[in-house]
Chains A and B, each alone.
Chain A
Amino acid sequence: MAPDLRERVGERRPDDRLVEHHVGARVARAAHERLVVARHDDDARPPARDIVVRGHLRGLPAAARGDDVDALGVEQQPKHFTDVGDVLDEEHPEPLARRISSPILHTLFSPSTTGEADAEWVRSGRALTRPEGRWSTGSLVNTALKRTPLYESHVKAGARMVPFGGWEMPVQYAGIVEEHRAVRAAVGCFDVSHMGEFEVEGPQALASLQRLTTNDVAALEVGQVQYSLLCYPDGGIVDDLTLYRLAPERFMLTVNASNIDKDWSWVREHGAAARWRNVSDDTGLIAAQGPKAEALVGRLADRDVTGIAYYHFAEGRVAGIRTLISRTGYTGEDGFELYVAAVDTPRLWSALLEAGRGDGVVPIGLGARDTLRLEMRYALYGNDIDATTNPLEAGLGWIVKPAKGDFVGRDAIEKVRVPGPRRKLIGLEMADRSVARHGYAVTTPVASPTVGREGAPTANTIGIVTSGSYGPSVERSIAMAYVASAQAAVGTELGVEIRGQVRPARVVKTPFHPSRVKK
């Protein structure tokens, strides 16, 4: 029996307030879908980096698909997401949406090619840019997707390619769970060339970065890497990034792919005194992650890599290719992120996969990248943090250093620090295997979730899920969520409303899986 009518859904407010909504809820699906739609309609959001979507096993509506109803008379259903994932190939130059009516294909990945991605297209092309006029989403979104230098390798390896933040990226090769486990047990290689890199130099570089970023750049030594944030004056997050001190007056910032253009405008506007260079298009980036990553990279490097400490980097040659070898990653495993010239990226990729064969190396898609980072509770921009979230509620207070002097967003963030944030990003574990996904309401617990007697409120909304999945290493359904601070303590029993039912969840310690980075 379904619980009764749900009046409103929980929403995240830009002012960081959580509004308590009555969730008495009869519905389910309609309300649920409204959530999903709301998310995709939210212009304030950057292109989604979230690759989870709800769909049917049905096709696009014929009109939206730009296609005739097919010969078998497929019954068309409205559809609230707009992407399809597929690989373009030379034999099928026609718009993809004409070829694909498989509903499941549509279910896999969410729209990531929105207006901002269009803007990315404005950046002058390199070889990576897909020829104009070939769309991945047919009549729905005419957005050219960019490709990394490894696009051909992915296709050859049989990867499932999907649009992601304006890029055509591999979401999986062998399968998300298998790839995830390979990284935890051995080593995996990730193409993260879509990420953006900016260089900044000159006598004003340090001062500009101190003003732009929340962490203390003066404390960063040459050869060291720092996790940091760009914030808006109101404390909302422009992006999270890693900052490299290449030389006393020269730095590199690595930013999220979907934010490259936004960030580029932002840093030049607010750090105008320094000399900036957007080297995103010239830079390839491969992550080698897992307990065997050190041995693998070490075998190919012309220098010792064991001495490179966590969040440090060194320059050297890997497989004969000039590489910035950075002991960083997004998986919770030991490993490296290898920056090379775009043109050299395929050679390094092949060399790693070849040399790592005995280690069990496999290529890893974005799907496993997401489950790996989720188990570590690492924030994903666009999911867990964005312009409406404050660093303190996101648990990122440790990279905000007010004592260093003024920076964009400092006053707003510090105003929150003393009273403490009203909501907090916490880890949730589901009691059963149902998956709490981005946008689902977090509620107070209910003893009997499916029984909604008339007039008896079943639960109150006290938060919202930002990321959630089955965690292949923890072997449970886990999630990250913002909840009211009063309910954020480890051990608190809560619920997550999934398709109209409140299912039991509990606040747990994070990371969900123990970190094995080299400290």
Chain B
Amino acid sequence: MSQITYREALNQALREELDRDERVFIMGEEVGYFGGAFKVTDGLLAVYGEKRIRDTPISELTIAGAGIGAAMGGLKPIIELMTINFGLLAMDQIVNNAAKIHYMFGGNAKVPMVIRAPQGAGHQLGAQHSQSLEAYFLHCPGLRVAVPATPADAKGLLKSCIRQEDPVIFLEHESLYGVRGEVPEGEYLVPFGKAKVAREGKDVSIISYSKCLYDAIAAADALENGGIDAEVIDIRMLNPLDIDTIIESVKKTGNAIVVYEGWRTGGAGAEIAAQIYEKAFDHLDAPVERVATLDTPMPYNARLERAALPSAAQIVKVAERLV
């Protein structure tokens, strides 16, 4: 095992899958000569050439659509959308084609494609560059949605996603690229659709994913000092959602806080809370709480931005009220 960054872990996964399967190729804005807007594809062009590491014009709709067509033609495309904010231009192809082709053609066609996209706030990038849009994709049947938090999961989950047959939206929080962690070298696969207990506890379940996992863990550490023993669940994938692991935890603790960076209203946390009510209502000691981003476009000002986003301090406050 070695300590590498989330960015390097993704790069490793891409290299290994490019080596493993000739059908795998990468396509997107700035993935080649620039090395990726966030340097995730750095160095790949020199090794794999322009055919497999393909720079595209700024045409998100057609990048996604061409990925779908290439997948239907027998390839395994990995599409990089520079950020999920620009991915909104590709929504028609993602929702009307990628998600539906297998179904509406009665199982006669499939779209084995991974769409990677950075997302999230925290760098004062303003309203149009700070969104977390996982709920949009979670809402649509036919799409798988991955939201890894740790470097090891980034690698192992990306490899698993590339090897399966459904279209996957693979969302990487922009603040995580520099995060370091232990990552197994070589072949390492994270099982598809399995949550993980990131920290065991008995008083309250803090359920989270992507960057918010780190806020959840920081909150759990702080709560420990105050005598509250929090369990932290890292969901890792929103579709398939490993609800069993979440329910098991809630049954044990009797309290649930769902933490996510999407807007509070209609976010992924709302769905998780609803499923907890459906499956573990009698085990709850209090209503499920949500800690999420305020329902406003993201402001530029640093102080306002911090106040809009979920934080460890907010989680601590909510947990103290619950327990």
Q: A and B: partners?
A: no
Which residues of B are interface residues toward A (Cβ below 8 A)?
A: none
Which residues of A are interface residues toward B (Cβ below 8 A)?
A: none
